[in-house]
Structure 1
């Protein structure tokens, strides 16, 4: 029971860091926050994602490219231009690394106002940090696992961030339903998103890329948007005006 609780907790905390800070803030700037709060969420992302920490800078730039070139050869991660899921993940990893190491020739417009804290970027991406987090996860399992099969969950802990990414970048471009006709293959993967905190409403997001609420229809509840509204209400962040408009 303790192991399953740990897994679910890590799943949703890591996912929150990705959808709230990396996606909706770093890539899309759907809301603003003070420099102090930006550093605070950098630390939370480092803690929540742990061994699979994703750079807000590299993620933000790469995701902007995804929207600009969705399902074309210039898309950093499109199932339409990958042999299989692992091939797409490998291409994404290489694209991400080139951006992180500044070995790219990406236009400046895609990098404008993307957060970049060099210290945290180096710390989160270091192998000492990644292995250290992995050791902590393993020790926790050694202490509390009651069945051998529980250890099969460890690889997901190690790669939690990329796992979340590939669920949307692969499956939400292949399966699901569409509320809108868009110029790519984006689909809504789940009609009620209790698994991906709103991220699975991918077709909605590709239609309204700057909208903080990814849900559109009555049943498409976006839990991350509820957190955003709360943080905006207590003035820890500032949601951009007219960002909660109803479209259907």
Structure 2
């Protein structure tokens, strides 16, 4: 995408993730490390090397912060062409930004919640990023089925992945990590995000590489 469109996406990420904002750079580098070191001691998040999901997510958080704050040396294969807008990341990831979003969430519930049990969803709003991380990085390596024998524990969480917008096809993704379509191996494996990308590609907002939309290679 163009530099302007990339910056618009940074801003929209902040708007829609709010207090859960994740840096595209930090997350992108960490994701590349996960694929390079999957299910080894160097993996930023692996159920094989953490006793429980809380310790895994704490280690993930620590590595993510080390990447964003330049506290660890990184191989250029992890950082090359990874989107980065450091000034905006610093603002969107700041305590001030997260607290303001938290107050806005609380005010929303205060004015619109109509029953006590609805307030139980407020902590979910605060913790959406770690909850998503647990679903994919913990359960996505423990629960589900496999289409491919790979050298890691990745699983496809659901035959029809409407909850994670296709990201739950984790086994498929680890087999063909370059593909934009995480589904498509079996007829019922539909990746909604892939079709959104196809649409954005068709109107020129993004440009998908041919290799990314290839069926298998």
Tell me the TM-score normalised to structure 1 length: 0.85
Unaligned runs of 5+ residues in structure 1 are: 1-32
1:57 is matched with 25
Which one of the candidate residues 149, 166, 169 is aligned to 1:201?
Answer: 169
Kindly report structure 1 stretches of 4+ aligned residues shifted beyond 6 Å: none
Equivalent residue of 1:103, what SS? coil
1:5 corresponds in structure 2 to none
Helix, strand or coil for the counterpart of 1:172? helix
The alignment partner of 1:243 has SS state of helix
Q: Aligned residue for 1:222?
A: 191
Kindly indicate whether residue 200 of structure 2 is the aligned counterpart of residue 231 of structure 1.
yes
1:68 equivalent to 2:36? Answer yes
TM-score (norm 2): 0.97
Q: In structure 2, what is the Cα distance between the partners aligned to 1:92 and 1:243? A: 27
Match of 1:173 in 2: 141
Q: Which 10-residue stretch deviates more, 68-77 or 104-113?
A: 104-113
Which residue does 2:209 correspond to in 1? 240
Alpha carbons of structure 1 residues 245 and 107: separation in structure 2 relative to 1, 3 Å: closer
1:126-169 Cα distance to aligned partner (Å, 9 max, x none): 00000100100000000010111111111111121221121000
Answer whether contact 2:20 2:98 (CA < 8 A) is retained. Answer: yes
How many aligned positions are there? 216
> How much is the aligned-residue C-alpha RMSD, in angstroms?
1.1
Match of 1:104 in 2: 72
CA distance in 2, matches of 1:117, 1:221: 32
The aligned counterpart of 1:131 is: 99
Aligned equivalent of 2:128, options 160, 185, 189: 160
CA–CA separation in structure 2 for the residues paired with 1:37 and 1:83: 41
Deviation of residue 246 (structure 1)? Answer: 2.7
Unaligned stretches of 5+ residues in structure 2: none
1:184 aligns with 2:152: yes
1:109 to 1:244, Cα distance in 2 relative to 1, 3 A? closer
Deviations 1:186-236 (A, max 9, x none): 000010001000000000000000000000211000000010000000011
Question: Which of the pair has the greater relative contact order for Cα pairs under 8 Å at 6+ separation?
Answer: 1
Distance 1:89 1:120 in 2: 24
- Where does residue 7 of structure 2 map in the other structure? 39
* Distance in 2, Cα, partners of 1:140 & 1:179: 43
Asked if the contact 2:39–2:153 (Cα under 8 Å) also holds between the matched residues in 1, the reply is yes
